[in-house]
């Protein structure tokens, strides 16, 4: 792809702030629908932004349905399959609800789904904490290029991308603004 200025990232906005809010609300409704009648549902976010999204989804679900699902965080870093390719990564928090995960329906939440390796690592981490009855996956953006047989149950937006492009999710709590942007490498 031709660049006008070397090093300049051409960014395209995929979701605006209001789009993000609407998408989260939609996913929340979908989760409520799909888990209707199920006991023991737990939302678990993958740091950093997946955890943020889990928190927002938890609030949205509580607002729309009146039921509060417990919300937790699981850091998959220690389970990654590519640790040896980079200098040692800093670890994030892991904080699971007191009730544990045994027999729970876990909705794993992340911001972007691409190769599926992060989700695979998160699944392994969850397995060492307990035995969920089932695990579902919710992502804000699915950008394709899967390397493992993993698919999301809830998808905010499907975005076809080239491998060298970057999907950037921005959340107000961390980045000061809500947006999803596509950037050229």
Partner 1 sequence: MRHLLSVTDLDAAAATALLDTADRLRQALLGREVRKLPTLRGRTVITMFYENSTRTRVSFEVAGKWMSADTVNVSASGSSVAKGESLRDTALTLSAMGADCVIVRHPASGAAHRLAAWVDKDRETTGTPTVIVNAGDGTHEHPTQALLDAATLRDRLGGIAGKRIGIVGDVLHSRVARSNVFLLATLGAEVVLVAPPTLLPVGVAQWPCRVSPELDAELPALDAVMMLRVQAERMHGAFFPSSREYAIGYGLSEDRAALLPEHAVVLHPGPMVRGMEIAPAVADAPNAAVLQQVRTGVHVRMAVLYHLLAGAPE
Residue (7 or 87) nearer to partner 1, CB: 87
For residue 6, the tally of other CB atoms under 10 A from its CB is 5
Residue (121 or 155) nearer to partner 1, CB: 121
Please state whether beta strands 166-170 and 105-113 pair in parallel, antiparallel, or not at all (unpaired): unpaired
* Closest among 153, 78, 154, 80 to 115, alpha carbons compared: 80
Residue (127 or 185) nearer to partner 1, CB: 127
Please state whether beta strands 154-158 and 11-15 pair in parallel, antiparallel, or not at all (unpaired): unpaired
CB of 142 vs partner 1, minimal distance in Å: 27
CB of 75 vs partner 1, minimal distance in Å: 7
Are the C-beta atoms of residues 180 and 140 closer than 8 Å to each other? yes
**What CA–CA distance (Å, rounded) separates 44 from 95?**
9
Residue (75 or 178) nearer to partner 1, CB: 75
CB of 54 vs partner 1, minimal distance in Å: 16
Residues that bind partner 1 (CB under 8 A): 75, 78-79, 83-96, 98, 100, 124-125, 127-131
Cis peptide preceding 21, ω within 30 of 0 = no
Identify the bridge partners of residue 72 per DSSP, sorted by sequence position.
Answer: 44
Q: Which residues contact 19 (CB under 8 A, 6 or more apart)?
A: 180
CB of 163 vs partner 1, minimal distance in Å: 22
CB of 90 vs partner 1, minimal distance in Å: 6
Residue (76 or 156) nearer to partner 1, CB: 76
């Amino acid at each position: 792809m031709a660049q006008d200025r070397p090093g300049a990232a051409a960014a395209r906005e995929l979701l605006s702030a209001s789009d993000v809010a609407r998408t989260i609300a939609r996913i929340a409704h979908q989760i409520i629908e799909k888990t209707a009648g199920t006991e023991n549902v737990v939302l678990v976010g993958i740091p950093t932004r997946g955890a943020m999204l889990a928190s927002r989804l938890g609030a949205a679900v509580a607002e729309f349905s009146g039921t509060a699902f417990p919300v937790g965080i699981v850091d998959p870093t220690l389970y990654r399959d590519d640790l040896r390719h980079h200098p040692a990564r800093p670890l994030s928090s892991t904080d699971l609800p007191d009730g544990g995960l045994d027999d729970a329906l876990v909705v794993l939440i992340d911001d972007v789904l691409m190769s599926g390796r992060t989700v695979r690592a998160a699944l392994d981490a969850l397995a060492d904490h307990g035995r969920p009855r089932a695990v579902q996956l919710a992502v804000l953006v699915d950008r394709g290029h899967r390397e493992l047989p993993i698919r999301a149950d809830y998808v905010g937006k499907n975005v076809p991308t080239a491998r060298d492009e970057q999907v950037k999710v921005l959340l107000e709590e961390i980045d000061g603004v809500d947006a999803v942007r596509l950037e050229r490498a």
